[in-house]
Amino acid sequence: MVEIGKALHVFLDVSRLLLCVLRPSPAGIDRVELAYARRWLGRPAACSFVAQNAWGALASLPHRQVERLVTLVEDVWQAGPQANSALAAARRLVLRLHAGMAAGTGRWAFGRAAATAERGIYLLVSHLSLENPDRIAGLRRQGLAFVPMVHDLIPSTHPEYARPQQVGRHRRRISTTASLADGVIVNSAATAEALLSHLPEAAGPGCHILPPIVVARLGVAAQPAAALPWPQPDPAGQDRPYFVTLGTIEPRKNHLLLLNLWREMAARLGDAAPRLLVIGRRGWENENILDMLDRCSALAGAVQETGPLPDAEVTRLLAGARALLFPSFAEGYGLPLAEALALGTPALCSDLPALREVGADVPEFLDPLDGPAWRDAVLHYAQPAAPRREAQLARLRHWHAPNWTTHFAEVDALLARVAAAPHALAPSRPGLFPAPYPGRSPWGGALRPAGGGAMAEPALAARVPAAPAE
């Protein structure tokens, strides 16, 4: 097995990190790339940071400037508007980096590093430019193996919830992964199951070798709620119990269910109705949802749209909520659920494989179309003495938050395996090896959940052959 830091060298793409400072709030993928950057900053001999310039070519970035950017971005996300100086500094730094890349800075350094790395791996943990197979094939011709992270397949499995242009783009990303990846990181067994269903078709009839896949759950910081200041979302309603829904406002997140429930509860209960805090930026194709938020007078005083908030404020509000409400129609992982449970906050969420994987038996799982069940659960959890909520809190005491240490242990094992594989330096996968048995695809590795253990889905385990002996 190749050991990271000796023969193996990682080229981590942080292009999305350079873009996230231009957006008002981070997405989940932004947080993942930041976690990877922070982790690999601690291994300077084993990692080079790279980014894509305006033409899609890669250039090396100085470790010192990446470290500065990571620190500034963390400050901005944690403090929000109070970190205006950090945001301005981050944007100035990003502009300097982009200007340098446009002038050719870092191109030669990347080419030299790629040429001299004994076992180099290009690691892409965002989906940025994954739909461009020519660029990835070019990196493989330079001698680099390719390992992407796939966060979800929602544009393929649920195209009705994706923007039209995103559907075709994501299919091309999966095609690139199927034909060119030497290993794949996924955030859940649910994502792996969906990926396995699409890889053979995406790879095409000439592809006999599919990449090894590792399941590495995304980490969250565990914080006891008792250590946090009690939140005051609004002085006029601070004595009323409240619930939180967290995420981009888009049809897939099923905000409309909650808004209709709250309109009915507000009409029936008046000021006795619990409050709902809607945290997150406005997304796409959500006209009906926005109409209710902007124009439904019945929701006034009962529903508060906060927009995106700093991490510190989100943490405080989650910690004081009666429960997180997560009625989504589709998820690849479910980071808000992990964050809520890590704070000791109960959750009511959709009965989805990814959310069961994250929450185990702790949350209450409901059909995202069953309005009466959600209404009954919300009204029950809003009571000072709520047996169902107390039962969930008891289950929560035995739940363990996913952590980045376990995540990176799984990733390191995959990277070492990829570097040791004979096909790691080949330009493409199709036709590399003949299929030993008609209709059967050999695998370079087994699909494993983070931390080892049994498969989350028996059907998934049955479809993945055991790893060959080292």
Rounded distance between C-alpha atoms, residue 36 and residue 167, angstroms = 27
Q: What is the pLDDT of residue 85?
A: 87
Pairing of strands 184-186, 213-215: parallel
For residue 211, which of 415, 12, 410, 33 has the smallest C-alpha distance? 415
pLDDT tens readout for residues 416-458: 999 988 654 444 444 332 232 222 222 333 333 333 333 333 3
197: Cβ–Cβ under 8 A, 6 or more apart, which residues? Answer: none
Count Cβ atoms within 10 A of the Cβ of residue 354 and give its class: 0-12 exposed, 13-18 middle, 19 or more buried.
buried
45: Cβ–Cβ under 8 A, 6 or more apart, which residues? Answer: 5
| pTM (predicted TM-score) | 0.85
pLDDT greater at residue 87 or residue 123: 123
pLDDT tens readout for residues 367-392: 999 999 999 999 999 999 899 999 99
Q: CATH class for domain 225-396? A: alpha beta
94: Cβ–Cβ under 8 A, 6 or more apart, which residues? Answer: 18, 21, 22, 69
Q: Are 386 and 364 in contact (CB under 8 A)?
A: no
DSSP collapsed to 3 states, 255-317: HHHHHHHHHHHHHHHHHHCCEEEEECCECCCCHHHHHHHHHCHHHCCCEEEEECCCHHHHHHH
Domain map of the chain by residue range? 8-219+404-463, 225-396
Mean pLDDT value across residues 70-87: 84
Q: Are 299 and 128 in contact (CB under 8 A)?
A: no
For residue 251, which of 195, 189, 328 has the smallest C-alpha distance? 328
Q: What is the pLDDT of residue 450?
A: 36
Give how far Cα 231 sits from Cα of 234, 311, 418, 461, Å.
9, 13, 47, 44
Q: Distance of alpha carbon 385 from its chain centroid, rounded?
A: 35
pLDDT tens readout for residues 33-43: 999 999 999 99
pLDDT tens readout for residues 206-227: 555 778 999 999 999 755 444 4
pLDDT tens readout for residues 250-301: 999 999 999 999 999 999 999 999 999 999 999 888 888 999 999 999 999 9
Q: What is the pLDDT of residue 23?
A: 74
Q: How many CA atoms lie within 13 A of 33 on its CB side?
A: 31
Q: What is the pLDDT of residue 323?
A: 98
Rounded distance between C-alpha atoms, residue 399 and residue 428, angstroms = 42
Rounded distance between C-alpha atoms, residue 206 and residue 196, angstroms = 17
Rounded distance between C-alpha atoms, residue 217 and residue 193, angstroms = 14
Q: What is the pLDDT of residue 55?
A: 82
Pairing of strands 119-124, 8-13: parallel
Q: At 449, is the secondary structure helix, strand, or coil?
A: coil
Q: What is the pLDDT of residue 427?
A: 45
Kindly tell me if the per-residue pLDDT of 230 is higher than 50: no
Q: How many residues does the chain have?
A: 470
Kindly tell me if the per-residue pLDDT of 12 is higher than 70: yes
Mean pLDDT value across residues 180-196: 94
Q: What is the pLDDT of residue 449?
A: 37
Q: What is the pLDDT of residue 26?
A: 84
Q: Distance of alpha carbon 398 from its chain centroid, rounded?
A: 24
Q: CATH class for domain 8-219+404-463? A: alpha beta
Phi, psi at 172, each rounded to 5°: -65, -35
Mean pLDDT of the chain: 84
Terminal Cα distance for the chain, rounded: 8
Q: What is the pLDDT of residue 109?
A: 92
Q: What is the pLDDT of residue 103?
A: 87
Tokens of residue 434, six digits: 């003949």
pLDDT tens readout for residues 101-153: 988 889 999 999 998 888 899 999 998 889 989 999 999 998 999 999 999 99
Kindly tell me if the per-residue pLDDT of 21 is higher than 70: yes
Q: What is the pLDDT of residue 25?
A: 76
Rounded distance between C-alpha atoms, residue 188 and residue 428, angstroms = 26
Q: At 274, is the secondary structure helix, strand, or coil?
A: coil
Burial 288-311 (b: 16+ CB within 10 A, else e): ebeebbeebeebebbbbbbebbbb
Mean pLDDT value across residues 186-210: 80
Kindly tell me if the per-residue pLDDT of 469 is higher than 70: no
Kindly tell me if the per-residue pLDDT of 81 is higher than 70: no
Asked, colleague to colleague, whether 8-219+404-463 and 225-396 share their fold, the answer is yes
Rounded distance between C-alpha atoms, residue 370 and residue 287, angstroms = 22
